[in-house]
Amino acid sequence: MRYRRIFLIVLDSLGIGNARDAERFSDSGANTFSHIAERVPGMRIPNLGRLGIGNLTSLRGISPAAQPLSYYCRLNEASNGKDTMTGHWEMMGIRTDKPFITFTETGFPKELVEELEKRCGRKVIGNKAASGTEILDELGEEQIRDGSMIVYTSADSVLQIAGHEDPAIFGLSELYRCCEIAREITMRDEWRVGRVIARPYVGEKRGEFKRTANRHDLALKPTGRTVLNVLKEKGYDVISVGKINDIFVGEGITEAIRSKSSVNGMEQTIEIAGERDFTGLCFVNLVDFDALYGHRRDPEGYAGEIERFDAKLGELLPLLREDDLLLLSADHGNDPTFRGTDHTREQVPLLLYNEKLSGGELPEQESFAVIGASIADNFSLSLPENCIGASLLPLLR
């Protein structure tokens, strides 16, 4: 065992430019981080800068580090997709060849909606791709009047149901029940979506509706055993922070911690680093980059979130022990200056930091799976037969 505690933090959607096959996904020219820096010059990210983020992609106002504190490289995605589940699963060794189905252009089929209405006992309203906040302003008052079920999707492979938390209107237990039914219905191959998401909210009228932290994701189980399964089976801790537990449906997780926001997720990670004596992996997802700013095409908001992360990173780094390893990466891109509201097929960064490492550039990698393979290698564990990836640890000095 080279490192006793490994912290893997995923900055959800923080891509760094064209993947090799970006053209196949109609994403040529996307670069989430670089375009945000161009649109919002003067970002203050001293900690990411010292680690070497500016050495990976051109960032206006942020010079490459002459002596970066971390090892760094660009990762390409091997899987056929650019969504959250595909990216995270690949990190832990699973290559996805059949992409999840999206209903962005058409909404959900009539047959699916009718079955959902029949089994839930509620009328479906919405049934289109929409922003979560905008659809509440559009349909929240209608739901308050008649208890209809707000169903919508996005550029992701998701079916989302919004329900008011007041039991007299909808209620959390009813929302979760309807989502369980939707998950069962969408297990069919022709309607197979990656996630069903419960989106609870509060408020009384348009302009005042607010989503709460009681979101719940019902994802498909990974299509095979992952590095997380092996870690858990061999007695190592696998602590998830944020939506990691939902993405893996609890598979391979020993402890799940929910977060109210990405800042809260970093606060929880800082607390774990400073106070928890564990052996294994702390796996963190920071979703606000993607959900609040990428999909909403808000580069200014995205830049502010990067700065908030960097400030929290500055609190985390001094707490890392000499036998800790910090990994920073992303699961896809979501360039807020690009067309549409979809994720973008981009390379993602990987920064590997330990106070004893000399730092420097590593070769570009063919798959996100080098992350999981490196974690398994650290604990002298064999990858499951279905897993891809090769460890980067032999390259670290």
pLDDT digits (tens, 9 = 90+) for 56-74: 999 999 999 999 999 999 9
Residue 355 in 3-state DSSP? coil
Residue of 377, 372, 7, 396 whose CA lies nearest to 388? 372
Which domains, ranges and CATH numbers included, belong to the chain? Answer: 5-97+223-395 (3.40.720.10), 110-219 (3.30.70.1250)
Asked if 93 contacts 381 with a C-beta cutoff of 8 angstroms, the reply is: no
CA dist 392 and 2 (Å) reads 13
User: Hey, what are 64's tokens?
Assistant: 């490459």
Residue 154: per-residue pLDDT: 87
Can you give the pTM of this predicted structure? 0.91
Which DSSP state fits 221?
P
Q: Is 171 left (phi over 0), alpha (psi -120 to 50) or beta?
A: left
pLDDT in tens, 166-222: 999 999 999 999 999 999 999 998 999 999 999 999 999 999 999 998 988 898 999
In the block, residue with structure tokens 């938390």: 165
For residue 347, the SS3 value is: coil
Neighbours of 119 (CB within 10 A): 14
Order of strands across the sheet that contains 360-361: 255-257, 237-241, 280-286, 5-11, 324-329, 348-353, 71-75, 360-361
Instruction: pLDDT band for 384, please (50, 70, 90 cuts).
Output: very high
In angstroms, the CA 57 to CA 15 distance is 10
* pLDDT attached to residue 133: 87
Number of helices followed by number of strands (H, E) in the chain: 12, 14
Render pLDDT for 233-272 as a digit per residue (tens, 0 to 9). Answer: 999 999 999 999 999 999 999 999 999 999 999 999 999 9
Pick the more confident residue, 320 or 132: 320
- Report the distance separating Cα 59 and Cα 16, nearest Å: 10
Helices (H), the chain: 32-39, 46-51, 84-91, 110-120, 132-146, 172-185, 227-233, 244-247, 262-275, 288, 299-316, 370-378
Count of CA atoms in the C-beta half-sphere (13 A) of 348: 32
Residue with tokens 């500016």: 54
Written as one string, the DSSP assignment of 62-82 is: BPPPSS-SSEEEEE---SS--
Looking at the DSSP assignment, which residues form a beta bridge with residue 73? 350
Rounded Cα–Cα distance for residues 42 and 39 (Å): 10
Which amino acid belongs to residue 107?
G
In percent, the amount of the chain with pLDDT more than 90 equals 93
Cα–Cα distance measured from residue 21 to residue 81, given in angstroms and rounded to the nearest whole number: 11
Query: Of 241, 252, 239, which Cα lies nearest the Cα of 279?
Result: 239
Q: Which stretches within 52-188 are classed as H helix?
A: 84-91, 110-120, 132-146, 172-185
For 260, phi then psi, to 5°, come to -85, -20
pLDDT in tens, 115-154: 999 999 999 999 999 988 899 999 999 999 999 999 999 8
Residues 384/93, Cβ–Cβ less than 8 Å: yes
Residue 17 dihedral angles phi and psi, to the nearest 5°: 120, 175
Q: How confident is the model at residue 198, as a pLDDT?
A: 97
Say if residues 31 and 17 touch (Cβ distance below 8 Å).
Answer: yes
Name the band, by pLDDT with cuts 50, 70 and 90, for residue 340. confident
Which residue would you say has higher pLDDT here, 118 or 18? 118
